[in-house]
Amino acid sequence: MSKGIRYTDEFKQEAVNQVVVHGYTVLDVSQWLGISNKSLYDWIKKVQ
């Protein structure tokens, strides 16, 4: 059973920055980067 794709901490931080710092929506960033909304919301929650 596969556990999915592992992303680097730098990738996660940059994705979070696109939302928190630059003001893009979670939907936009997740689509641009090809990740799920849930993953991005989880990463943002960990930072806050």
Name 20's Cβ contacts closer than 8 Å, sequence gap at least 6. Answer: 44, 47
**Single pTM value for the model:** 0.86
- Quick one: which H or E segment has residue 42? helix 37-47
pLDDT of residue 2: 54
What average pLDDT does the segment 16-33 reach? 97
Residue 17 is encoded by which pair of tokens? 């920055």
Alpha-carbon distance 25 to 6, whole Å?
22
pLDDT of residue 5: 84
